[in-house]
Every structure is written in C-alpha cells, then in structure tokens.
C-alpha cells in the first residue's frame, strides 16, 4: 500500500500513472475553482455598482464546466482505484486457492 493520502494501493505502472494524473487534475481544478469563487464574490460587488455583469456570467459558466469536469474526473479516479482493489482481491483469492 502506498501512503499517498488518496487511497491508492500498489498497482501496475500504467494504472498508477493514470491514478496520479487524475488526482493531480482534480487537485488543480479544486484550486482553480476556489480562486474563481473568490473572483465571483469580488465581481458581485462590482455588479452592485452596475459594472461587470458579462464577466461574472462568463465566470459562472466556466465554474459550472469545471465542476462537471471535476465530478467526472473524481468518478474516473474512483473507478481506477476500485479496479485496483478488485484486482488485489482476485489475486488474494487466487493465492488462497493455491
């Protein structure tokens, strides 16, 4: 078992690389979304003064796309990790049968 902090177990090089890539992508999107939320709050203050509505709308659309992408990547990461756990379980069963 690796101590990566996100539930990854020993896996083949390709699976590990894919899981690591997905994890990094998810973390990047979370950071971007946090910054976007801060910008949206600042823009909402400008809207109260009658400025920046188009920019806020565009940022909200971007945030929505990022949220959807993060959900997909998170699901994919869970599937990769679940597949690894299933492979480990099958390997244990095979060893028990021998």
Domain residue limits, the chain: 13-84
How does residue 85 score in pLDDT terms, banded at 50, 70 and 90? Answer: low
Average of per-residue pLDDT values in the chain: 81
Higher pLDDT, 28 or 1: 28
User: For 58-68, how does the pLDDT look when each residue is reduced to its tens digit (9 = 90+)?
Assistant: 999 999 999 99
Give CA–CA dist 35/76, Å, rounded. 24
Helix axes 53-97 and 13-48, enclosed angle (nearest 10): 160
Record the pTM: 0.62
Give CA–CA dist 10/16, Å, rounded. 8
User: For 20-39, how does the pLDDT look when each residue is reduced to its tens digit (9 = 90+)?
Assistant: 999 999 999 999 999 999 99
Chain Cα centroid distance, residue 90: 27
Higher pLDDT, 18 or 95: 18
């Amino acid at each position: 078992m690796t101590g990566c902090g996100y539930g990854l177990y020993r896996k083949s090089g390709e699976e590990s690389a894919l899981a690591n890539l997905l994890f990094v992508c998810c973390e990047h999107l979370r950071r971007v979304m946090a910054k976007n939320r801060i910008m949206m709050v600042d823009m909402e203050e400008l809207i109260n003064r009658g400025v920046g509505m188009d920019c806020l709308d565009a940022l909200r659309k971007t945030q929505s796309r990022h949220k959807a992408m993060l959900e997909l990547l998170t699901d994919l990461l869970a599937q990769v990790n679940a597949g690894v756990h299933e492979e480990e379980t099958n390997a244990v069963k095979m060893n028990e049968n021998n």
